[in-house]
């Protein structure tokens, strides 16, 4: 019966996000369906353990020459910029023919790039591309115009604060591929973390000036799994090697999938408190549903209530409940006038068109093996997912023990993995509070609200932002990441600290 409820929920959500074109959302929803159907295709019970024996053949490649080859001269339709960009492949497993595509933008001020940290950004899904979202619609230096062939500047790009590395992961996502087709069926949290780790080791061989540089891992949505699991793997191998192989300093995750039970309950509670569903439906979900990992079935009253809720939000972009929808993803002959304040809801279409141009792929050093499928914002060839822990909270607790910087942020108009869910998840950790919930001020306004827990773990909201925070609130998102990277608390400058 649980299957029935969740099937209804996720089928409809898939349809909804498909219509409105955002494939990242589609993927997360499809995945949740598989995960929560409990039909055995996704193992949710195991606590995440890093892979101990990594296939390391890739490190043999001559990275010195490769780095120069990866340098991007200029992207088609790109405005002039003063920083360097690189794009290319890092072999993950030579025998399987598995390689990951990365896009790297150095810090905007070349003088600063050598002192600023390295920040890896991962998108979720599973199956969605960090090039599609992070790089081209969220925190990257460019966004794609509505003509699908020219770019405009994102003035609030995160490479104003760091050297930013976008990775398409796992194999099957974006330009990343494997010559072993079973890799597309046998993926999961563990193999992704292992591959991401191998990628990082090898990427640092190719960019040795970043070896030893402070590294931060960041991402959103299902990267709430990827980021902590990669961090855990890095820590594990540093301990085994008894030296700092990778100098990880902290993690930053937004609107993140953290803990299935509280994530799901928080989503429905958010629907209720934001007047999207009726009080009666909210009440029934609270009373009759059990979203814990061990609930195998749900009573009919829960199924009816969740079906009703799902029906009610069908016409919304639940990834930003106040945002407009995309009704016309057609390219325009001339670029529409863009505003940094309002991301175009059809951006996914423009990015798709741009990334599938041959000249763009050549400039990016992408698709060198001539893949037999289009580049997609979210993979359509990735099938199956073997393991996905029901919670990453044990990892977060571990990071706090190891004094890793842990920041969790939430765009407060996202209803999919909303601030309510994130608050419930952190609340379940029962951490003592260091500084209580207060606004953080950016340019005289509340950028959002923040609470710091003893440990140190920071929870911050970004006011007026949906699921993809830097898309909707680029200024506030940049302020947030600057504070995160500097380790400075988000302060309420309007009153004495």
* 441 touching a copy of itself, by CB under 8 A: yes
- Concerning whether 317 is annotated as a catalytic residue, the answer is no
* 279 touching a copy of itself, by CB under 8 A: yes
Tell me the C-alpha distance between 401 and 253, whole Å.
18
* 496 touching a copy of itself, by CB under 8 A: no
- Concerning whether 467 is annotated as a catalytic residue, the answer is yes
| 477, HSE (Cβ side, Cα atoms, 13 Å) | 33
β-bridge mates for residue 166, sequence order: 103, 121
Q: Out of 53, 82, 432, 444, name the contact with a copy of itself by CB under 8 A.
A: 444
* 340 touching a copy of itself, by CB under 8 A: no
* 325 touching a copy of itself, by CB under 8 A: yes
- Concerning whether 347 is annotated as a catalytic residue, the answer is no
Angle at alpha carbon of residue 260, lines to 417 and 470, rounded to 5°: 25
**Minimum separation from the CB atom of position 266 to a copy of itself (A):** 11
- Footprint of a copy of itself on residues 82-141 (CB under 8 A)? none
**Minimum separation from the CB atom of position 15 to a copy of itself (A):** 12
Select from 136-144, 206-214, 273-281, 287-295 the region that touches a copy of itself (CB under 8 A). Answer: 273-281
* 275 touching a copy of itself, by CB under 8 A: yes
The position carrying tokens 């061990």 is 294
From residue 360 to residue 399, the character string flagging contacts with a copy of itself as x (rule: CB under 8 A) and all else as - is ----------------------------------------
**Minimum separation from the CB atom of position 358 to a copy of itself (A):** 35
- 7 vs 326, which CB is nearer to a copy of itself? 326
* 432 touching a copy of itself, by CB under 8 A: no
Of 236, 294, 226, nearest to 256 (Cα)?
Answer: 226
* 276 touching a copy of itself, by CB under 8 A: yes
Q: Which residues are catalytic?
A: 221, 414, 467
Q: Which residues of the chain form contacts with a copy of itself (CB under 8 A)? A: 269-270, 273-281, 311-316, 321-322, 324-325, 327, 410, 412-413, 419-420, 423, 427, 436-439, 441, 444-446, 449, 451, 461, 463-464, 492, 494-495
């Amino acid at each position: 019966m649980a299957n029935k409820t969740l099937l209804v929920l996720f089928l409809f959500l898939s349809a909804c996000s498909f219509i409105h074109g955002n494939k990242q959302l589609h993927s997360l929803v499809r995945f949740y369906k598989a995960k929560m159907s409990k039909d055995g295709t996704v193992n949710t019970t195991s606590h995440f353990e890093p892979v101990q024996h990594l296939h390391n053949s890739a490190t043999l490649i001559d990275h010195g020459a490769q780095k120069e080859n990866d340098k991007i001269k200029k992207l088609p339709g790109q405005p002039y910029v003063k920083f360097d960009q690189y794009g290319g492949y890092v072999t993950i497993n030579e025998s399987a023919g598995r390689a990951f595509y990365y896009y790297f933008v150095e810090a905007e001020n070349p003088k600063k790039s050598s002192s600023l940290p390295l920040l890896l950004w991962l998108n979720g899904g599973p199956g969605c591309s960090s090039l599609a979202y992070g790089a081209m619609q969220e925190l990257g230096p460019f966004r794609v115009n509505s003509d699908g062939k020219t770019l405009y500047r994102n003035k609030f790009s995160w490479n104003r604060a760091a050297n930013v590395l976008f990775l398409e992961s796992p194999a099957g996502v974006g330009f990343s591929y494997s010559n072993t087709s079973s890799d597309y069926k046998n993926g999961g949290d563990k193999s992704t973390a292992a591959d991401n780790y191998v990628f990082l080791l090898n990427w640092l061989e190719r960019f040795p000036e970043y070896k030893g540089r402070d590294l931060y891992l960041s991402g959103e949505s299902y990267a709430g799994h990827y980021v902590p699991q990669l961090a855990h793997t890095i820590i594990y191998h540093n301990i085994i090697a008894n030296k700092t192989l990778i100098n990880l300093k902290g993690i930053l995750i937004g609107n993140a999938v953290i803990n299935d039970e509280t994530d799901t309950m928080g989503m429905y509670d958010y629907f209720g408190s934001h007047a999207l569903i009726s009080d009666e439906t909210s009440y029934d979900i609270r009373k009759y549903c059990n979203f814990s990992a061990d609930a195998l079935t749900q009573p009919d009253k829960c199924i009816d209530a969740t079906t009703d809720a799902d029906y009610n939000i069908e016409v919304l972009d639940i990834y930003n409940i106040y945002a407009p929808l995309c009704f016309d993803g057609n390219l325009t002959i001339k670029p529409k006038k863009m505003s940094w304040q309002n991301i175009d809801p059809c951006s996914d279409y423009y990015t798709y068109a741009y990334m599938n141009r041959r000249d763009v792929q050549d400039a990016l050093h992408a698709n060198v093996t001539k893949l037999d499928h289009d580049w997609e914002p979210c993979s359509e060839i990735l099938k199956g997912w073997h393991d996905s822990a029901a919670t990453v909270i044990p990892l977060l607790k571990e990071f706090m023990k190891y004094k890793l910087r842990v920041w969790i942020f939430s765009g407060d108009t996202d209803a999919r993995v909303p601030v309510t869910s994130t608050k419930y998840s952190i609340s379940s950790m029962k951490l003592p509070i260091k500084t209580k919930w207060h606004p953080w001020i950016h340019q005289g306004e509340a950028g959002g609200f923040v609470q710091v827990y003893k440990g140190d773990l920071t929870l911050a909201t970004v006011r007026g932002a949906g699921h993809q925070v830097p898309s909707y609130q680029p200024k506030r998102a940049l302020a947030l990441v600057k504070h995160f990277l500097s380790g400075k608390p988000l302060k309420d400058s309007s009153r004495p600290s």
